[in-house]
């Protein structure tokens, strides 16, 4: 067996130890005689797995008691509709900050459920920078302000949390949740698909302040009503049981490796290695404003785009996969999620040096 260095933007690389444990427990989970996939979601075995996964989210992120942690389905794209259906009702309008492709999609979806105002946009810069907080036009009567904490495609990330006063801040944190410590109490709601830093696709984590529950629009499907899900411990419908189990294993692994402060140090070391190389290279470049560069997703371009395919082929031959950039940005993109080892970035930089020497 040989495993590649997987730079995929998501679903993404997972800790090998987690995959091994899942393989060992596949047929018989801890003497239950069943695979986790075969368990009733209301049986004591799965209820324990579920409760432990919730507790791990709470512990790792320091979630205060007056927040609910929900495990639901629909992904972040589903949440683009589910968030406004649940929160917009308080005033009928919401502010969105547009920092790239994922924000753009959130805005288009939310506009179906209320009045959406774009409070600021990075479009003029080609989404290579986060619009400075001083330029935001916020509506004090908005039901919430929505941001995307890390734009997975464009590679921009908030490194300072914007102050939005008393209006609840909602964040799509799909691609940087659990990558660094954050202060949950500064958010009204956080949502994230699991498949970047926490596990497989299929489960979506929602962390919501309790006072925001209970304002859902009448059209909200029951399975997507946060209050109903909160009252039913995320078991109003059958939850994605196996994905929750793997998420729990990943979070246990994260805790054993020092928690989110250790993840941040590890992620900074990887990103710095790659950005330092890009900054001195005469052949490769990154177009994002320095202060807004993502620690998770690093888009970069070759001087000669005609050699993109050759670069990717050489990477594949060296055991490095999923480096092709998103079609909207072009070039390459290296995603450096928690489970990607430093060795992967060292191997990538060594290959880029070699490629540059051959082609510059
Ligand atoms: C991956 C991603 C999404 C899409 O998530 P789905 O699981 O496909 O719904 C949305 N937002 C961000 C920031 C992402 O990184």
Assess whether the C-beta atom of 176 lies below 6 angstroms from ligand 1. no
Q: Which residues contact 175 (CB under 8 A, 6 or more apart)?
A: 9, 10, 150, 151, 152, 192, 196, 197, 296, 297, 335, 337
Per-residue pLDDT at 360: 81
Per-residue pLDDT at 212: 98
CA distance 219 to 72: 18
- Per residue in 242-301, pLDDT (tens digit) is 999 999 999 999 999 999 999 999 999 999 999 999 999 999 999 999 999 999 999 999
C-alpha 66 to ligand 1 mean position (Å)? 26
Assess whether the C-beta atom of 11 lies below 6 angstroms from ligand 1. no
C-alpha 196 to ligand 1 mean position (Å)? 9
Domains and CATH numbers, the chain: 16-256 (3.40.640.10), 259-359 (3.90.1150.10)
Which residue do the tokens 């990717």 mark? 312
Assess whether the C-beta atom of 152 lies below 6 angstroms from ligand 1. yes
Mean predicted confidence (pLDDT) in 339-349: 98
- Per residue in 207-234, pLDDT (tens digit) is 999 999 999 999 999 999 999 999 999 9
C-alpha 115 to ligand 1 mean position (Å)? 23
- pLDDT value at 88 more than 80: yes
Assess whether the C-beta atom of 100 lies below 6 angstroms from ligand 1. no
- Per residue in 128-138, pLDDT (tens digit) is 999 999 999 99
- pLDDT value at 311 more than 80: yes
**Residue 163 assigned to a binding site:** no
pLDDT band at 156 (very low <50, low <70, confident <90, very high): very high
Per-residue pLDDT at 129: 98
- Residues pairing with 334 in the sheet: 298
Choice from 174, 205, 295, 335 to test ligand 1 binding pocket (greatest atom count within 8 A of CB): 174
* Nearest atom of ligand 1 to the alpha carbon of 152: 15
CA distance 73 to 157: 25
Backbone angles phi, psi at 169, to 5 degrees: -95, 130
Per-residue pLDDT at 332: 98
Instruction: Provide DSSP, 94-130.
Output: EEEEE-SHHHHHHHHHHTTTSEEEEEEE-GGGTS-SP
Question: How much of the chain is in helix, strand and coil states, percent to nearest 5?
Answer: 40, 15, 40
**Residue 29 assigned to a binding site:** no
Task: Report cis status (omega within 30 of 0) of the bond before 285.
Answer: no
Q: Considering only CA atoms, which residue is closest to atom 3 of ligand 1?
A: 76
Per-residue pLDDT at 1: 76
Mean predicted confidence (pLDDT) in 101-126: 97
Contact in structure between 235 and 41 (CB atoms under 8 Å) = yes
- Residues pairing with 115 in the sheet: 93
Both tokens assigned to 311: 């670069």
Check: pTM over 0.85? Answer yes or no: yes
Choice from 8, 10, 71, 100 to test ligand 1 binding pocket (greatest atom count within 8 A of CB): 10
What b/e sequence results for 216-237 when a residue is b if at least 16 CB atoms lie within 10 Å of its CB, and e otherwise?
Answer: beeebeeebbbbbbbeebbebb
- Which residues are known to be catalytic? 102, 172, 196
C-alpha 304 to ligand 1 mean position (Å)? 30
Report angle CA 307, 309, 314 to the nearest 5 degrees: 95
* Nearest atom of ligand 1 to the alpha carbon of 195: 7
Which residue do the tokens 């990477």 mark? 315
Mean predicted confidence (pLDDT) in 106-112: 98
């Amino acid at each position: 067996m040989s495993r590649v260095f997987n730079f995929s933007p998501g679903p993404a690389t997972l800790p090998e130890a987690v995959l091994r444990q899942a393989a060992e427990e596949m047929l018989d989970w801890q003497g239950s005689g069943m695979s986790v996939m075969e368990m009733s979601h209301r049986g004591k075995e799965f209820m324990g797995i579920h409760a432990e996964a919730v507790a791990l989210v709470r512990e790792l992120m320091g979630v205060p008691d007056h927040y609910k942690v929900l495990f639901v389905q629909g992904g972040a794209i589903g949440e683009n509709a589910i968030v406004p259906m649940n929160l917009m009702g308080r005033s009928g309008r919401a502010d969105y900050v547009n920092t790239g492709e994922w924000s753009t999609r959130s805005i288009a979806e939310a506009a179906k459920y209320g009045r959406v105002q774009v409070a600021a946009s990075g479009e003029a810069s080609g989404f290579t920078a986060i619009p400075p907080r001083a330029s935001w036009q916020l509506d004090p009567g908005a039901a919430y302000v929505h941001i995307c904490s890390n734009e997975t495609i464009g590679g921009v990330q908030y490194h300072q949390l914007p102050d939005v006063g008393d209006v609840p801040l909602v964040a799509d944190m799909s691609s940087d949740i659990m990558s660094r410590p954050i202060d949950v109490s500064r958010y009204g709601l956080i949502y994230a698909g699991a498949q970047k830093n926490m596990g497989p696709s299929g489960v979506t984590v929602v962390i919501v302040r309790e006072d925001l529950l209970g304002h859902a629009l009448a059209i909200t499907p029951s399975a997507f009503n946060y209050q109903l899900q909160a009252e039913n411990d995320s078991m109003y419908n059958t939850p994605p049981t196996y994905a929750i189990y793997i998420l729990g294993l990943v979070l246990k692994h994260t805790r054993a490796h020092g928690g989110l402060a250790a993840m941040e140090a590890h992620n900074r070391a990887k990103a710095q290695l790659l950005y330092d190389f890009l900054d001195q290279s005469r052949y490769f470049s990154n177009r994002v404003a320095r202060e807004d560069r993502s620690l998770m997703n690093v888009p970069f371009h070759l001087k000669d785009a005609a050699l993109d395919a050759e670069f990717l082929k050489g990477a594949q031959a060296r055991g490095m996969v999923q480096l092709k950039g998103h079609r909207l940005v072009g070039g390459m993109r290296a995603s450096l999620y928690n489970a990607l080892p430093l060795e992967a970035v060292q191997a990538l930089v060594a290959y880029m040096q070699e490629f540059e020497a051959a082609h510059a």
